[in-house]
Chains A and B, each alone.
Chain A
Amino acid sequence: MSALLEVTDLTVEFPTGPGRKVHAVSGVSFSVHEGETLGLVGESGCGKSTTGRAIMQLPRPTSGSVVYDGQELTSLRGDSLRTVRRQLQMIFQDPISSLNPRRRVHDIVAEPLAIWNVGTKDARDDKVRELLDAVGLDAAAATRRPHEFSGGQCQRISIARSLALDPKLLICDEPVSALDVSVQAQILNLLEDMKVRYGLTLIFVSHNLGVVKNISDRVAVMYLGKLCELAPADDLYARPAHHYTSALLASIPVADPRVRPGAAPDAVAGDPPSPIDPPSGCRFRTRCPRAEAHCAAAEPALREIAPGHYVACHFPIGENDGR
């Protein structure tokens, strides 16, 4: 598998007043292979959504490189960037606010085709029909407006629109977070089907670890703008190496009364620190049960501890710690 997308040292900072800035994403590197689903998981403010958007150059990264299919996106401008963006599409968290309430579903889904003047009008209408059918909506939906649909159906419309230009890479930013569990399952299954049918590569951003595990081939865990751990999904959940990953996993409420909550020894205390003034060294050290002086002094680099399993920790779980 070749890398479709190569993100290197991606940094996004937002100014917040004189001399202060939010370190939203700080030196994140990963690659996404063609045909895979990469999950980006972390708590609010960890930079996972900003990472997804910075790949789209919305906003442009402060520094770092984003290479898509051999092209450096950060140096592209104007038309050449717009042309590449046809192949990169996004779907967002709130399906209702991401659709124009005044327009009919047909026009919403046809808009990307109209902008790029793809084919004849008849061909575009056929494409819209095909897409609506693919995402599981009746043909009658085409003449209706977003308010007539539920959240789950609106997300189907968003997915149909994102697929109109036959993109290769779909960035999904919390696409099921606003949906109920029963509908969430429908949309996750739909994304899996669309991925196969249209040969997509997915970046799936979510705070929900269960959801990310379900849909991803590999999962990257972020904390306060940094990548903590990156590994194949099943491996990461079975053998977390970073103390933050382990804490996250221990915090998931499990729908099984035999699992006693609160007994998890790895659950962390406190809140994440502010990204305006992040801790020195390892950013997780202020909440980490294993932190030592070294963690404040030196920032741990992302290193491979097992084939395909990367971790940024001086003292990863399972390595020389007697466990």
Chain B
Amino acid sequence: MSAPLLEVDNLVTHFRSDRGLVRAVDGVSFSLERGQTLGIVGESGCGKTVLSRSIMGLLPPKNVVIGGHVRFEGRDLGALRAVDMRRVWGAEIAMVFQDPMTSLNPVMRIGVQVTEGLRVHLDMDKDRATETAIALLKSVGIPEAERRMHQYPFELSGGMRQRVTIAIAIACGPKLLIADEPTTALDVTVQAQILNLLQDKQRERHMAMILVTHDLGVVAGRTDHIAVMYAGKIVETAPTATLFTEMRMPYTEALIRSIPKPAAPSHTRLRAIEGRPPDLVRPPVGCNFAPRCPYARDKCHDHEPPLEGGEHAFACWYPI
């Protein structure tokens, strides 16, 4: 078997702050095969966004402590020089961010932004790049693509802007697309359209995709695997169907239970998780979730459980 497309090995990203070291990502390992989709799910502050930026190498240069390895097709991305990393960005790994208004340049026409990657990475001349860009915009469902090429981002709706960022991301045929909360800023009917679009493009181009989200509903029907993060660590990872039916980690169960379900009768009492996530400067000694866990016993407060298991791994001393 050849090496997986992406291998993340004991990745650590800590930020220095006045209060001490913030353990945003604290020893995360996973791998992703070509053409597969992975959902990374967790609440705000769990480290999911820092993780995706660490994989991309998009962290500020100062006050960051990085450890572990990110291997893409066997190459250690952390060891690449900035100039080599630029050949990876866009061409091999591309990213779609949460807010399409801030990820597009407000003073550049759409056409310039879509053709930029094509000209830099694929060395296309202007006419070819323009032609390709129009085809790309059409393929992501933008009507009147020729006219849109001359427009600025503010002239487009939120959903249309996110379609543009997707067109830019897939322009150079990346092998991996990282979508970080791509639909959080969008309305629910538009969200469904964008998620369907991402899925279509991922299948059509056989890209691998990492879908980062706080919403289990977004990843439920659209990923092969899910990794649940809590306080900087992966606490459970499994094939998607398994995770929902045979969850072992109490946090996963609590997260699924606390979502109000449209199918449940109104006024159904929600099973909230009491308390709140730990301070990442001073995480608990044992399991990070133990202070909020209904099943926690003494051992959980004293010893940290390792993430163990094969395809379905979980970090819990007393799994469900």
Using a CB–CB distance below 8 Å, which chain A residues touch chain B?
Answer: 43-44, 150, 152, 180-186, 188-189, 192, 207-211, 213-217, 233-234, 237, 247-262, 264, 267-269, 271-272
A187: nearest chain-B partner, CB-CB? B272
CB neighbours of B199 from chain A (8 A): 262
The answer for the CA separation of A217 and B222 in the assembled complex, in Å, is 32
Please list the 6 inter-chain residue pairs (A to B) with the smallest Cβ-Cβ separation, ordered nearest first: A253-B217, A185-B272, A214-B260, A43-B187, A233-B266, A182-B273
CB neighbours of A250 from chain B (8 A): 192
Contact partner, B43, options A182, A210, A251, Cβ 8 Å: A182
Contact partner, B267, options A215, A256, A260, A268, Cβ 8 Å: A215
Q: When the two chains form their complex, are residues A182 and B262 in contact, meaning their CB atoms are under 8 A apart?
A: no
CB neighbours of A207 from chain B (8 A): 187-188
Q: When the two chains form their complex, are residues B43 and A234 in contact, meaning their CB atoms are under 8 A apart?
A: no
The answer for the CA separation of A39 and B258 in the assembled complex, in Å, is 20
CB neighbours of A271 from chain B (8 A): 157-160, 190
A209: nearest chain-B partner, CB-CB? B262
Known: A43-B190, A180-B43, A184-B258. 5 other contacts (CB 8 A): A182-B273, A186-B273, A213-B260, A215-B266, A261-B196
Contact partner, B273, options A185, A208, A272, Cβ 8 Å: A185
CB neighbours of B265 from chain A (8 A): 234
The answer for the CA separation of A304 and B92 in the assembled complex, in Å, is 57
Contact partner, A185, options B214, B241, B264, B270, Cβ 8 Å: B270
The answer for the CA separation of A40 and B274 in the assembled complex, in Å, is 28
B157: nearest chain-A partner, CB-CB? A271
Contact A255/B244 with A207-B187, A213-B262 known, Cβ cut-off 8 Å = yes
Closest CB in chain A relative to B249 CB, distance in Å: 14
A268: nearest chain-B partner, CB-CB? B189
Q: When the two chains form their complex, are residues B191 and A257 in contact, meaning their CB atoms are under 8 A apart?
A: no
Contact A210/B262 with A251-B188, A269-B193 known, Cβ cut-off 8 Å = yes
Considering only residues 193-246 of chain B, those with a C-beta below 8 Å from chain A are: 193, 195-196, 199, 214-218, 220-222, 240-241, 243-244
Contact partner, A183, options B188, B191, B276, Cβ 8 Å: B276
Q: When the two chains form their complex, are residues B192 and A261 in contact, meaning their CB atoms are under 8 A apart?
A: yes
Contact partner, A182, options B193, B258, B260, Cβ 8 Å: B258
Contact partner, A189, options B188, B262, B269, Cβ 8 Å: B269
CB neighbours of A258 from chain B (8 A): 241
Contact partner, A257, options B158, B193, B244, B267, Cβ 8 Å: B244
The answer for the CA separation of A249 and B190 in the assembled complex, in Å, is 13
Q: When the two chains form their complex, are residues B260 and A211 in contact, meaning their CB atoms are under 8 A apart?
A: yes
Counting CB contacts under 8 A, is B3 at the interface?
no
The answer for the CA separation of A247 and B254 in the assembled complex, in Å, is 29
Contact partner, B240, options A182, A188, A237, A257, Cβ 8 Å: A257
The answer for the CA separation of A237 and B265 in the assembled complex, in Å, is 9
Q: When the two chains form their complex, are residues A210 and B260 in contact, meaning their CB atoms are under 8 A apart?
A: yes
Q: When the two chains form their complex, are residues A267 and B244 in contact, meaning their CB atoms are under 8 A apart?
A: no
The answer for the CA separation of A254 and B219 in the assembled complex, in Å, is 9
Q: When the two chains form their complex, are residues A192 and B221 in contact, meaning their CB atoms are under 8 A apart?
A: no
B46: nearest chain-A partner, CB-CB? A180
CB neighbours of B255 from chain A (8 A): 181-182
CB neighbours of B240 from chain A (8 A): 257
Using a CB–CB distance below 8 Å, which chain B residues touch chain A?
Answer: 43-44, 157-160, 187-193, 195-196, 199, 214-218, 220-222, 240-241, 243-244, 254-256, 258-274, 276
Q: When the two chains form their complex, are residues B195 and A261 in contact, meaning their CB atoms are under 8 A apart?
A: yes
Q: When the two chains form their complex, are residues A259 and B270 in contact, meaning their CB atoms are under 8 A apart?
A: no
CB neighbours of B215 from chain A (8 A): 181, 253, 255
Closest CB in chain B relative to A145 CB, distance in Å: 17
Contact partner, B266, options A181, A217, A269, Cβ 8 Å: A217
Closest CB in chain A relative to B104 CB, distance in Å: 17
Most buried by A among B190, B191, B255: B190
Contact A152/B187 with A192-B267, A257-B221, A269-B193 known, Cβ cut-off 8 Å = no
What are 28 A-B contacts defined by CB distance under 8 Å? Answer: A180-B214, A181-B259, A182-B43, A182-B254, A185-B258, A185-B272, A188-B260, A188-B270, A189-B269, A189-B272, A207-B187, A210-B259, A214-B266, A233-B266, A237-B263, A247-B189, A250-B192, A251-B191, A252-B217, A253-B192, A253-B220, A254-B217, A255-B244, A257-B221, A257-B244, A258-B241, A271-B157, A272-B187
B190: nearest chain-A partner, CB-CB? A271
Q: When the two chains form their complex, are residues B220 and A181 in contact, meaning their CB atoms are under 8 A apart?
A: no
A271: nearest chain-B partner, CB-CB? B157
A267: nearest chain-B partner, CB-CB? B192
CB neighbours of A253 from chain B (8 A): 191-192, 195, 215, 217-218, 220-221
Most buried by B among A181, A216, A234, A248: A181
The answer for the CA separation of A152 and B277 in the assembled complex, in Å, is 12
CB neighbours of B243 from chain A (8 A): 257
Closest CB in chain A relative to B292 CB, distance in Å: 8
A259: nearest chain-B partner, CB-CB? B221
Closest CB in chain B relative to A188 CB, distance in Å: 6
Closest CB in chain A relative to B273 CB, distance in Å: 4
Contact partner, B272, options A186, A237, A252, A256, Cβ 8 Å: A186
The answer for the CA separation of A271 and B192 in the assembled complex, in Å, is 12
CB neighbours of A213 from chain B (8 A): 260, 262, 264, 266
CB neighbours of B216 from chain A (8 A): 255
CB neighbours of B270 from chain A (8 A): 185, 188-189, 214
The answer for the CA separation of A225 and B221 in the assembled complex, in Å, is 33
Closest CB in chain A relative to B123 CB, distance in Å: 35
CB neighbours of B274 from chain A (8 A): 186
Q: When the two chains form their complex, are residues A209 and B273 in contact, meaning their CB atoms are under 8 A apart?
A: no
